C-alpha cells in the first residue's frame, strides 16, 4: 500500500518536472512576441505623433492667420457700418425721416398697383387727383420720389397715366331691325342715355367693326344704320359725355330751325296763292 502511494507521488512529481520547462518556454515566447509588438506599435505611434504634431503646427499657423484676417475684416466692417450710419443720417436730413420713408414706400406700392390696373381716362384722372400729388410732393421738397428705388418706377407710372388718359376701352353692338343710334345709346347695357348717340356715330362713321355682304361698312349718315352692322361702343369720359350731349342739343336746335324755315316757306307759298 505504501509502495503504491509512493509510486503515484513519483509519477506526479515527474509530470510536474517535465511540464515546467514547457510552460516556462511558452511564457518566454509570449513575452518576446509582446515586446516585439510593443516595439512596433511604439515606432508607428511615434511616427504618427510626429506627423500629427507637424499638421497641428501647420493648422495652428493657418488658424492664427485666419484670426488675424477676421480681426481686420471686423475692423473694416465697423468702419463701413460707421460710414453707412453717417450716410443714412445725411440722406434722411436731405429727403425726410425714416418713418416718412416707410409710409411713402407703402403708399407708393399701392399707387403702382392702381396705375398698372388703370382702366381708362376717368380712372387716370382720379389717380392724378387723389394719389399723384402725394407721390410727387412727399418728403423734403418732394425728394422721396428721387430715391433710386423710386425714381425709375415713378417715371414709368407717370407715362402709364398719360397713356391711360388716352386709352379708350371699346365694346361692340350688333344692329337689329328697328334700331337707331338714339335707341342704342339709351340701352341700359350701353350708355343708358339716348343723348349720347353722337359718340357712337363718331366711333363708327369711318368704319364699323364688321358688316354683312352688301351692307355699308361706314355710317356717313347717323340716320342710316343697317341690321348686321357691328358697331364700336367706346367708353366715354365725362368730358366726352358732355360733348356728345351738347352736340345732341345742337342737332335738335338746328332741326327746329329747319322745321320752322320749312313751315315759314310753306305758309308764304300759301299766302302767295291766295
pLDDT one-digit tens code per residue, 171-186: 899 999 999 999 999 9
Instruction: Supply the range of the domain harboring residue 113.
Output: 98-165
* Residues 186 and 127 both lie in one domain: no
- How far is the C-alpha of 167 from the C-alpha of 237, rounded, in Å? 10
pLDDT at 217: 95
pTM: 0.43
DSSP letters for 20-85: HHHHHHHHHHHHHHHHHHHHHHHHHHHHHHHHHHHHHHHHHHHHHHHHHHHHHHHHHHHHHHHHHH
* Residues 200 and 146 both lie in one domain: no
Mark the ranges of the chain whose per-residue pLDDT is less than 70.
Answer: 1-40, 167-169, 253-274
Q: Are strands 170-174 and 230-234 parallel, antiparallel or unpaired?
A: antiparallel
Q: What is the three-class DSSP state of 194?
A: helix
* Residues 145 and 194 both lie in one domain: no
pLDDT at 5: 52
Give a yes or no: residue 213 inside a domain. Answer: yes
- How far is the C-alpha of 91 from the C-alpha of 59, rounded, in Å? 46
* Residues 143 and 210 both lie in one domain: no
pLDDT at 191: 92
The H or E element that residue 208 is part of is none
Give a yes or no: residue 156 inside a domain. Answer: yes
pLDDT at 156: 95
- How far is the C-alpha of 264 from the C-alpha of 259, rounded, in Å? 9
> Which cell is 147 given?
430715391
- How far is the C-alpha of 7 from the C-alpha of 4, rounded, in Å? 5
* Residues 127 and 210 both lie in one domain: no
Give a yes or no: residue 175 inside a domain. Answer: yes
The H or E element that residue 188 is part of is none
* Residues 212 and 137 both lie in one domain: no
* Residues 108 and 137 both lie in one domain: yes
Give a yes or no: residue 12 inside a domain. Answer: no
> Which cell is 44 given?
508607428
- How far is the C-alpha of 133 from the C-alpha of 239, rounded, in Å? 22
* Residues 103 and 128 both lie in one domain: yes
Give a yes or no: residue 55 inside a domain. Answer: no
Number of independent structural domains in the chain: 2
* Residues 190 and 148 both lie in one domain: no
Which of 140, 165, 190 finishes a domain? Answer: 165
Which of 135, 165, 195 finishes a domain? Answer: 165
> Which cell is 72 given?
481686420
Which of 150, 165, 180 finishes a domain? Answer: 165
Give a yes or no: residue 90 inside a domain. Answer: no
Give a yes or no: residue 70 inside a domain. Answer: no
Give a yes or no: residue 25 inside a domain. Answer: no
> Which cell is 144 given?
422721396
- How far is the C-alpha of 122 from the C-alpha of 169, rounded, in Å? 11
- How far is the C-alpha of 192 from the C-alpha of 15, rounded, in Å? 134
Task: Give CA angle at 77 (72, 78), nearest 5°.
Answer: 100
* Residues 102 and 156 both lie in one domain: yes
DSSP state of 142: G
Amino acid at each position: 500500500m505504501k509502495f503504491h502511494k509512493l509510486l503515484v507521488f513519483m509519477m506526479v512529481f515527474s509530470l510536474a518536472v517535465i511540464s515546467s520547462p514547457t510552460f516556462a518556454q511558452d511564457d518566454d515566447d509570449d513575452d518576446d512576441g509582446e515586446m516585439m509588438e510593443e516595439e512596433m506599435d511604439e515606432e508607428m505611434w511615434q511616427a504618427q505623433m510626429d506627423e500629427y504634431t507637424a499638421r497641428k503646427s501647420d493648422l495652428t499657423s493657418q488658424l492664427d492667420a485666419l484670426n488675424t484676417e477676421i480681426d481686420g475684416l471686423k475692423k473694416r466692417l465697423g468702419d463701413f457700418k460707421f460710414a453707412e450710419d453717417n450716410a443714412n443720417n445725411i440722406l434722411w436730413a436731405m429727403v425726410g425721416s425714416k418713418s416718412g420713408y416707410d409710409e411713402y414706400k407703402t403708399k407708393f406700392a399701392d399707387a403702382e398697383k392702381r396705375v398698372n390696373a388703370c382702366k381708362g381716362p376717368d380712372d387716370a384722372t382720379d389717380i392724378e387727383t387723389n394719389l399723384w400729388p402725394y407721390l410727387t410732393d412727399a418728403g423734403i421738397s418732394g425728394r422721396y420720389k428721387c430715391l433710386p428705388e423710386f425714381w425709375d418706377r415713378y417715371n414709368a407710372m407717370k407715362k402709364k397715366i398719360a397713356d391711360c388718359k388716352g386709352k379708350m376701352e371699346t365694346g361692340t353692338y350688333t344692329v337689329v331691325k328697328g334700331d337707331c343710334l338714339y335707341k342704342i345709346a339709351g340701352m341700359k347695357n350701353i350708355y343708358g342715355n339716348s343723348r349720347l348717340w353722337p359718340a357712337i356715330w363718331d366711333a363708327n362713321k369711318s368704319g364699323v367693326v364688321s358688316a354683312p355682304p352688301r351692307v355699308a361698312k361706314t355710317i356717313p349718315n347717323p340716320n342710316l344704320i343697317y341690321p348686321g352692322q357691328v358697331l364700336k361702343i367706346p367708353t366715354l369720359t365725362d368730358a366726352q359725355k358732355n360733348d356728345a350731349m351738347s352736340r345732341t342739343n345742337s342737332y335738335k336746335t338746328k332741326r327746329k330751325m329747319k322745321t320752322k324755315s320749312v313751315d315759314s316757306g310753306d305758309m308764304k307759298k300759301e299766302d302767295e296763292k291766295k
